[in-house]
Amino acid sequence: MRPPRWIPFLALLAAVCLATACRESGIQTDAIAAQAADAASLPNKAGSFKFAVLGDFGVGAKTQYQLADQMATLHDRFTYGTVVLVGDNMYGGERPQDFKAKFEKPYKPLLDAGVKFYASLGNHDAREQRYYKPFNMDGQLYYTFSPTADVRFFALESTYMVPEQVAWLEKELKASSSKWKLVFLHHPLYSSGERHGSDTLLKEALEPLFVKYDVSVVLTGHDHFYERVKPQKDITYFVVGSGGKLRSGNIDRGTGLTAKGFDTDLAFMAAEIDGDQMYFNTISRTGQVVDSGVLAARKPLSP
């Protein structure tokens, strides 16, 4: 007996529904993610602004070095000039030898190539890091820099959000006419971390400013995995606390926040801003692209 004709259509419909459900719940297999990555690799255009994001990395362990090797490998074919650090740059001791073992040695190829690292401080970081030249903080706990006319970064100190810092941020965001405003700080306003999760107190203080002044992307760490959060009020939030310490299986899939999560290995993010678009890849310790996509710059709310 021949099966009814509608069975293949039903199977197709079920497959489409399943894929949609997986995408919406943020649960993707590595195979699906890898296919998506192939389809949306970085354009690597001449003249675009290329950068990487790294967080919670300074442990000095072999796995940190392996991820650092992946960063150097990528740099060979995708010449980014900036790395943004989202805090917890140094775990444990911060003696001079720690700066060597946990930063200068693993990232030596990048430092030698002239890549500039810009740090924000996490709860494990001593205040003296702001004087450490390779972190380019110029002695400041919070600061801003603009690598190109279209792009401006704002680095915040999220363990001690004094009112002056919030006022400073508002002044700087307001004054900036850059098409791309990206904020980086340690504590995530949104995160599905079972260990830490979203910092709602910080969200109350900062999110209204991000919305009002057209911040497009917020880069954070603290939770030791990678997560791209579904856009919140049109802003894309990333958790990139996967640079050295891994909290395996720590993403709570029930938060409904996750657009894509990766909590089975270390990872860093590479990104490219070209005009109105920002392309990104997230690359694991083994060189797998575990997430990728394209974001659009937010348009100003008011003329």
Partner 1 sequence: MPSPDARRLLLVGLLGIVSSGCRDKDVPPPPPATAESPAAAPSTKRVVGPLSDADAKALKTMNDRMKSYLEIHTKLEAGLPELPKDPSPEQIDKNQRLFEQKMRAARASAKRGEIFTPEAETVIKRLLAAVFTTSQGKELMASIMDEYPAGLKLTVNGRYPDAIPVSTVPPEILQTLPKLPEDMEYRFIGRHMILLDTHAHVIADLIENALPKL
Residues near partner 1, by CB under 8 A: 91-96, 98-100, 122-124, 126-128, 131-133, 158-164, 166, 187, 196, 199-202, 204-205
Please give the order of strands across the beta sheet that includes 116-119: 116-119, 82-85, 49-54, 267-274, 277-284, 289-296
Least distance CB 123 / partner 1 (angstroms): 4
d(CA 235, CA 295): 10
Phi, psi (rounded to 5 degrees) for 185: -160, 170
Least distance CB 247 / partner 1 (angstroms): 12
Q: Are strands 82-85 and 289-296 parallel, antiparallel or unpaired?
A: unpaired
d(CA 85, CA 118): 6
* Residue 23 or 116 having the CB closest to partner 1: 116
Least distance CB 155 / partner 1 (angstroms): 17
Q: Tell me if 266 sits within 8 A of 244, measured CB to CB.
A: yes
Least distance CB 232 / partner 1 (angstroms): 18
Least distance CB 281 / partner 1 (angstroms): 30
* Residue 95 or 174 having the CB closest to partner 1: 95
Least distance CB 190 / partner 1 (angstroms): 15
Best CA proximity match to 52, nearest among 276, 268, 284: 268
Best CA proximity match to 243, nearest among 96, 114, 119, 81: 119
* Residue 48 or 242 having the CB closest to partner 1: 242
Question: Tokens 């000039």 label which residue?
Answer: 81
* Residue 159 or 277 having the CB closest to partner 1: 159
Instruction: Specify the amino acid at residue 188.
Output: P
Best CA proximity match to 124, nearest among 95, 101, 93, 99: 93
* Residue 75 or 222 having the CB closest to partner 1: 222
* Residue 93 or 275 having the CB closest to partner 1: 93
β-pair partners for 261: 227
